[in-house]
A and B are shown apart, each in its own frame.
Chain A
Amino acid sequence: MDFKHISTRRKHAQPMTDIDLDQKLMLAAAQGDTDSFGELVRRHQGAVINYFFRYTQNIETARELSQDVFLRIYEARRRYRPTAKFTTYLFRVAHNLAINKVIAKKRPVSVPMETDDPDTYDPVIASEDDTPEQAALASEESRFIEDALSTLTERERSVLIMKYTLDMSYAEIAGATGDSESAVDSLLMRAKRKLKRELGKRDVTVPVENA
């Protein structure tokens, strides 16, 4: 039996020897170059908006929170030191904002199955090749999962999104949350266990491929 195709072997992070483009842009922004900061926003807004969208399930709230993150970074620009990757710094600010209780209250507890609200993305994950039935099923499953996400703690949800949506490594997540890598692993396992239980309650079966 071959299992090797299942694991997506991650290249372990190399020690940083040079200042990367993000850090150069941030250092230029600290010197008053606003265009460089605009470039940083352009480069990373997608990841930050996605993070908050998965977190709050509301695109407008996600955009507002993302602006807040970039403004906080800009206001602290003179204290910035390129000691870690810029994205680690960026998601540390985002994570801290996300686990703030005020934001947690804004998050809807449950996502309605049918909505005309233009602020709510339809999280269809099906590809164009799917039949309408398959697409509808995939969409429904996604909604169940989004709903089940609300049963997780703030930290569990944040870490799960960093892993599944942003594909961040354990080391990157640990840098952003201030936890150890083994703590990140434990948080992810706990989150998945809870989700599995929730999906079981909602009668969502996860298709298991037989070898």
Chain B
Amino acid sequence: MGMDRKGDQSMKTKHRQFEKLLSAYLFGELDEKETERLESHLEKCSECARALRREEALHRTLSGALTHRAVDPADDITDLVLGKIREIEGRESIADRISMLFDMRFRPAAAYALAASIGLAAGILPLFTFLAPAVAVSETQTDPLAVEYLMDAPPQSLAAFYFDREVTDE
């Protein structure tokens, strides 16, 4: 009795091992040795042979339902993709031109010149914004500092004038 139960158990384990191979077998994924081992077992074991037929039926149903369809010419996406690529390339060419100027390995002089111009521009522009209200003097809005500068016409530079005033104020 005990032996029978033990035998049943080992048979079940064996079936389970072979059942695990059925899916891979149907897909042709087993190597030659595994295929031969399974096929010789299937010859003798009606239970596994039945399991294979059930597995094969599902396999066939899924293959049919999930079949690969030919793409309709109206669904062709090639031109859409290429159109978007042209947009990407347009953006990239502008970015490339800028990055080429900053490429220190090949054009150090150009990179330094560009950096210096940006630095100068950043330094000078705020001064123009300071001067603007003084140039457009009106009764309601006058920058007293700028007016003082224009009236007194000090000998030092505009930057030094502002710098001195700020230091004095502290």
Which residues of A are at the interface with B, using a C-beta cutoff of 8 A?
A: 1, 3-4, 6-10, 12, 34, 37-38, 41-42, 45-47, 49-50, 53-54, 59, 63, 66-67, 70-71, 74-75, 121, 123, 125, 138, 141-142, 145-146, 160-161, 163-167, 169-170, 185, 188-189, 192, 195-196, 206-211
Within the complex, the shortest CB–CB distance from A193 to chain B, in Å, comes to: 10
Is the beta-carbon distance between B23 and A188 smaller than 8 angstroms? yes
Within the complex, the shortest CB–CB distance from B161 to chain A, in Å, comes to: 53
Is the beta-carbon distance between A8 and B28 smaller than 8 angstroms? yes
Is the beta-carbon distance between B75 and A63 smaller than 8 angstroms? yes
Within the complex, the shortest CB–CB distance from B75 to chain A, in Å, comes to: 6
Bound complex: CA A63 to CA B35 (Å): 40
| Chain A residues whose CB sits within 8 angstroms of the CB of B54 once the complex forms | 206, 208
Within the complex, the shortest CB–CB distance from A145 to chain B, in Å, comes to: 4
User: Which residue of B has the minimal Cβ distance to A209?
Assistant: B53
Is the beta-carbon distance between B71 and A1 smaller than 8 angstroms? no
User: Which residue of A has the minimal Cβ distance to B24?
Assistant: A185
Bound complex: CA A203 to CA B31 (Å): 36
Which residues of B are at the interface with A, using a C-beta cutoff of 8 A?
A: 20, 23-31, 35, 39, 42-43, 49, 52-54, 56-58, 60-71, 75-78, 80-82, 84-86, 88-89
Is the beta-carbon distance between B75 and A4 smaller than 8 angstroms? no
Within the complex, the shortest CB–CB distance from B26 to chain A, in Å, comes to: 6
Is the beta-carbon distance between B53 and A164 smaller than 8 angstroms? no
| Chain A residues whose CB sits within 8 angstroms of the CB of B52 once the complex forms | 3, 6
What are 29 A-B contacts defined by CB distance under 8 Å? A3-B39, A4-B39, A6-B52, A7-B25, A7-B30, A8-B26, A34-B82, A37-B85, A41-B81, A41-B82, A42-B78, A49-B75, A67-B81, A71-B85, A74-B85, A141-B65, A142-B64, A145-B66, A160-B62, A164-B66, A165-B67, A185-B29, A192-B58, A192-B62, A195-B62, A196-B58, A208-B53, A210-B53, A211-B53
